[in-house]
Copies of this chain bind each other. A is one copy, B any other.
Amino acid sequence: MKVSFVGSGNVATQLAKACSAKGITVVDIYSKSINNANLLAELVNAKAVSNLNDLTTDIDLLIIAVSDNALLEIANKFEHFTASIVHTSGSTNIDVLKSDNYDYGVIYPLQTISKSKEIDFKDVPFFIEASNPDLKLALSIFCEMLGSKNVQYADSALRMKLHIAAVFACNFSNHMYAIAEELMRKNALDFELLKPLIAETAQKIQSMSPKSAQTGPASRNDTLTLEKHLQALHSEKALFDLYKAISEDIAKIQNS
């Protein structure tokens, strides 16, 4: 099986590495930046390409893993392809790839993926969609080859709902860590001190619902403490507003 990647970012990097590790030939890595293409291509023994017209067409699957904005810009530039083409975007409709010349689909890994952090795809649910049943079967087998124990079908509307929930569960919780890190730094406190707390918070919801796992001043309705915290954040409007809005939402959910 021969695959190529359009993109050299977080998702392209980890998928290409997983392909390579599983014995799937990675033919080309495309990036607008030939340097970025080279960096990933070297890792997976592929050819680096910075012009879409230089992509090898004699492959089985082209995986487009770029930002959603970039995907819209380049989605219609593969009319000379006959190989199947998929994107990896949570919130972009499958039809962005619509064509009479090739089959098209989506493989969406429900995971936070960074270049520098190895991913074990065993624990990653993949949601697939395809323009025809044969490609759907092929994508399902492909995701299992990458190691996933959980490959499911989701249409574009459902995939976006999954993506929105994932943004809250992952990107937004990570941003709460980022704010905490910045608050610690400003007070010359070591972020290390919060790591057991963050680990336990995530660990708890593996066996409890987040609602019943909640602790802290907002869930206890400790109004005096909420006021003290808001007063302490008074000079940082964005943090003040976030603290207030999230605390009010916690109180609402805990009392519902």
Q: Which residues of A come within 8 Å of B, CB atoms?
A: 10, 67-69, 72, 89-92, 110-114, 116-117, 119, 123-125, 150, 158, 160-184, 187, 189, 191, 193-225, 228-229, 232-233, 238, 241-243, 245-246, 248-250, 252-253
How far does the alpha carbon of A232 sit from the alpha carbon of B163 in the complex, in Å? 11
A173 contacts B158, CB within 8 Å?
no
Partner of A67, one of B90, B119, B222: B222
A166 contacts B202, CB within 8 Å?
no
Some 22 contacts from A to B, beta carbons below 8 A apart, are: A110-B194, A112-B200, A116-B208, A123-B196, A161-B183, A161-B232, A165-B183, A165-B184, A169-B198, A169-B201, A170-B198, A170-B215, A171-B217, A172-B176, A173-B176, A175-B210, A175-B246, A178-B250, A181-B211, A198-B202, A201-B202, A238-B248
- By beta carbon, the residue of chain B nearest A241 is B245
Closest chain-B Cβ to A6's Cβ sits at a distance in Å of 16
How far does the alpha carbon of A61 sit from the alpha carbon of B238 in the complex, in Å? 42
Partner of A170, one of B169, B174, B178, B197: B197
Closest chain-B Cβ to A65's Cβ sits at a distance in Å of 12
A201-B173, A245-B245, A246-B175 known; A215 vs B165 contact (CB < 8 Å): no
Contacts of A241 in B (CB 8 A): 245
How far does the alpha carbon of A124 sit from the alpha carbon of B194 in the complex, in Å? 9
B252 contacts A238, CB within 8 Å?
yes
Partner of A173, one of B177, B221, B222, B248: B177
Contacts of A207 in B (CB 8 A): 117
Q: Which of A211, A216, A241 has the most CB of B within 10 A?
A: A216
Partner of A111, one of B92, B200, B253: B200
